[in-house]
Structure 1
């Protein structure tokens, strides 16, 4: 690939009005979306959440495809919600890309500039530059049916960028790709987004896509923001069960007195942190050690009697879903699972060392 995706800033550099400033309020029947989003030029923000959380509604509201019922939407100081969708400086890459099947890759990319009044020859010249930047020059004459999933994704991205948007929206940009292609295209997309100088916002339910592609995560559940921060902060300090499940942690809430935490539901946990008041306690499934009998020589401060509720393959390990004194997930090797004769309904003892837990204020 040659060149970069850098786009010139518009407006006054360093102006506080640059970037995205939005409070998206959308009421649709019994569902209410109320999400605040802010981002500076060059930021890549991921809107993450389960199905039905309101992610797509938020994206469609930003694009002008769903009207706001409240709040505000400003981009580089302009009132975006007062503009028609086609006049907004917004580029969108939809989940299924929506390439025109009868047009070549070149003419798909040229479509945006043509809609903005650029003459055909000039629009096609601009499109050729974008395809070159995406490494797709040799596919410029190909129709979408002749493109691979990764190639189609890059054509869709080039088409969105060819209009020189100040806000780039990506709706589940990698969802249509198989696992092998997804790995390569994710790396390519990260490179493209790193060079994009306006605001980029992607909607996804895949935590790996969010962690790799975005600088800032906004987690939405039931139409509201439940947590936001950098990927590392979200991964280390989950604040809901949904987020804990995404990042692969056991998560509990309780009341701390020194190194002891009395859980809201369940027994106590000993931690290394010395805290007082409401806290979360988290630890990875790999920190859990399972025993058939109550351990007597273990140095672990946390010991609970459990029962195997279910087993599933998790990568190259077995993940045990445990019920009992403390519901939790434990990861162990296939050999260890066989030696323990694990099966649904089997009684086990679970231990976790205090040093492997992490407590933080709720």
Structure 2
């Protein structure tokens, strides 16, 4: 394979790379899929060595995008180019069949062949591409060794742990030398304890991958740990993209705000105040003018039985629900008065909830720390 233990994506001898040149170009795609009842229109770009994560609520189009990249769902418009080669472009009637694309896929359930050993599963792809049996087995053994699975080469999938099966699936996907690696919820089949170890190990392998990787996940922690950049999709359209830190700091939709654990509102800024509704403004440390977002964490919210002495960033609300959230109690609230209907989440200690004797439907006052609000242009 390659020097310094890198996971080479150029493809072993005898395995086609679709005519792509290693290290050049990366991914350039506009994925347009119109099914009548649902339309996807997402532009994606990534450099070789970059991990791109697609996030979004159920039905947003993440899986459709992944299937379009793999060639399993035909494009109705746009284009798909990989390392400068056009794999699909409906306008010029060009479409490379899925089996002809230099693409590796790791499915949510891994889909390992149950009757084959780990070694035979990994060797399967190169054998299908014409590699001699002995060479394919040698390549498979090398990949399993890199995954720390040399001792499990002769083991069948049913005797592998979830983490081991995931690594075999990764080795199998890499065995054909893909220039694009697609991962569909790769950690979803694991229990919480296994996810910690496998997530860290998968990050190490992806960091060594020399081509483009695209990850679909609904888990913000998986996306933050594994990806270099995030693309958030809602209703078939991208609504936000950037590094995990950029997206977490400046959410632009309610879905993204919930994903990163922030309260988010949109209003009109004038100086240090963002007006959310008539008679309701949030004071911030930033100075802005015009349409703006303002965000703050649930931990920045305190609740009171009476109106606090300082009325800045305070409004009446009603308790709409409570649930455990780590070592805190998350209180869901609905605004009242000038904040009527405004949703809010507050994280309180169990002691604070007990002292306030909170119950569903209780009227309370909300206050938000000035220094913990963050405003930015909409």
Q: Normalising TM by the smaller chain, what interval?
A: over 0.9
For residues 206-256 of structure 1, the C-alpha deviation after alignment (integer angstroms, 9 at most, x for no partner) is 111101100000000000000000000000000000000000000000000
Q: Which residue of 2 aligns with 1:330?
A: 346
Q: Structure 2: give runs of 5+ residues left out of the alignment.
A: 11-16, 89-94
Q: How does 1:46-125 map to 2 (within 5 A)?
A: 46-81=53-88, 82-125=95-138
Aligned partner of 1:349 in structure 2 is 365
1:105, 1:143 within 8 Å by CA — same for their partners in 2? yes
Offset, 1:266: 7.6
Residues 1:319 and 2:335 aligned together = no
Q: Distance in 2 between matches of 1:123 and 1:265?
A: 69
TM-score (norm 1): 0.96
After superposition, the CA RMSD in angstroms is: 1.6
Q: CA deviation at 1:5?
A: 3.9
Structure 2 Cα separation of the partners of residues 162 and 315 of structure 1: 41
1:108-152 alpha-carbon deviations (Å, 9 max, x no partner): 000010011001111011000000000001111111000000000
TM-score normalized by the length of structure 2: 0.92
8 Å contact kept, 1:253–1:264: no
Distance 1:340 1:181 in 2: 39
Q: CA deviation at 1:171?
A: 0.3
Query: Does the aligned pair in 2 maintain the 1:44–1:199 contact within 8 Å?
Result: yes
Answer whether contact 2:9 2:178 (CA < 8 A) is retained. Answer: no
Provide the residue aligned with 1:30 in structure 2: 37
Q: Distance in 2 between matches of 1:14 and 1:144?
A: 33
- Between the aligned partners of 1:253 and 1:355, the Cα distance in structure 2 is 18
Cα distance in 2, alignment partners of residues 34 and 265 from structure 1:
37
Q: How does 1:141-290 map to 2 (within 5 A)?
A: 141-263=154-276, 267-290=280-303
Q: In the TM superposition, what whole-angstrom CA distance separates every residue of 1:45-65 from its partner, at most 9, and x where no partner exists?
A: 000111100000000000000
TM-superposed CA distance for 1:12, in Å, is 6.0
Structure 1 runs of 4+ with >4 Å offset: 8-15
Q: How many Å separate the matches in 2 of 1:42 and 1:151?
A: 24
Distance 2:82 2:144 in 1: 27
Deviation at 1:320, TM superposition (A): 0.3
Return the offset for 1:354: 1.5
SS state at 1:208 partner: helix
Query: For 1:166 and 1:251, how far apart are their aligned partners in 2?
Result: 38
Q: Residues of 2 paired with 1:266 and 1:289: CA distance?
A: 20
SS across alignment from 1:155: helix
Which residue number corresponds to residue 7 of structure 1? 8
Bigger Cα displacement from structure 2, 344-353 vs 225-234: 344-353
Q: Distance in 2 between matches of 1:264 and 1:361?
A: 17
CA shift, 1:301, in A, is 2.1
Residues 135 and 78 (structure 1 numbering): CA distance in 2 closer, same or farther, change over 3 Å? same
Residue matched to 1:309: 320
Q: Secondary structure at the match of 2:39?
A: strand
Give the C-alpha shift of residue 343 in structure 1.
Answer: 1.0
1:20 to 27, 36, 39: 27
Determine whether 1:137 maps to 2:150: yes
Separation in structure 2 between the aligned mates of residue 266 and residue 111 of structure 1, nearest angstrom: 67
Ranges in structure 1 where 5+ consecutive residues have no aligned partner: none
What is the number of residues matched between the two proteins? 357
